[in-house]
Amino acid sequence: MRPVASDILVAMACDSDFDLAATAAAQGRLNARPAPPVTAPSRLPHGIQPLGLGAERDGVIYLPPGLSLTRPAPLLLLLHGATGSGERSLKRLQSLADERGLILLAPDSRRRTWDVLMGGCGPDVAFIDAALAHVFARFAVDPARLVIEGFSDGASYALSLGIANGDLFSHILAFSPGFLAPPSQAGMPRIFVSHGTQDTVLPINHCSRRLVPALRSAGYDVTYEEFEGPHTVPPAIAAAAVDWLCA
């Protein structure tokens, strides 16, 4: 685990010889921002839609029934676990998205897991930035409910990328994270963490029971839920996280 205090912050200045987008991606910084849609469809079909930005690995967008063309909706960026996919990650929150009118954006990692776990930020940050820009251009998104969520490796990445982009994400949902390694720090998003006491994949004593006190010591508002169970996201925990988000 790396600390989240000021000693880990990365200077945001970049040399003119470097590509600005690549530099931002290496620092874990996302440039996309919500704005009034400029290429909104004439009607909004609900259900799972392909993201359409990648060839072998892409991702999906989920639009709940009754989504408005003009009324901004909460957006959740879902990050899958190792060897997973965006579409598989929808199962955690799809029914809750229908109940609460949430847009779900679930990209695929470029490799078997997210770049920060493979040596450093870069390719996945750039792809996620493009995916967010794609959604912002088409759908009305509520900037006060712009959430990054993940499970397992995805939860570690959600914490890392969410802390680096707390001026974009209002909330972080981290289900059974293993660590956090933010390459930079901006803003102070609210954070929800859950972890099973019987987790043998990412044992709770080495993970969330260390991460949560460190986050709180750094000044973050953290809601923490432990449950009796293994490396999973129980439906009751997912519902509690969404209730927390929408409160």
Encoded amino acid at 212, one letter: V
Report whether 87 contacts 77 (CB < 8 A): no
pLDDT at 123: 87
Q: What is the residue-level pLDDT of the chain in tens, covering all 247 positions?
A: 443 432 332 222 333 333 556 777 877 899 999 998 887 777 778 899 999 998 889 999 999 998 888 899 999 999 999 999 999 999 999 999 999 999 999 999 988 888 887 777 888 999 999 999 999 999 999 999 999 999 999 999 999 999 999 999 999 999 999 999 898 899 999 999 999 999 999 999 999 999 999 999 999 999 999 999 999 999 999 999 999 999 8
19-27+42-246 maps to which CATH number? 3.40.50.1820
**141-151 vs 103-107, strand pairing mode:** unpaired
Name 223's bridge partners: 192
Tell me the per-residue pLDDT of 170-185, one tens digit each, with 9 for 90 and over.
Answer: 999 999 999 998 988 9
Alpha carbons 176 and 155: distance in angstroms, whole number? 7
User: Tokens 């994400």 label which residue?
Assistant: 169
Alpha carbons 114 and 203: distance in angstroms, whole number? 20
Tell me the per-residue pLDDT of 20-56, one tens digit each, with 9 for 90 and over.
Answer: 567 778 778 999 999 988 877 777 788 999 999 988 8
Q: What is the DSSP letter of 166?
A: B
Domain boundaries, the chain: 19-27+42-246
pTM: 0.89
pLDDT at 23: 73
Alpha carbons 90 and 113: distance in angstroms, whole number? 17
pLDDT at 20: 59
Distances (CA, A) of 222 to 217, 244, 247: 10, 11, 15
pLDDT at 193: 98
Distances (CA, A) of 199 to 26, 46, 154, 193, 208: 31, 35, 16, 14, 11
pLDDT at 2: 42
Report whether 89 contacts 151 (CB < 8 A): yes
The structure tokens listed for 30 are 């996302």
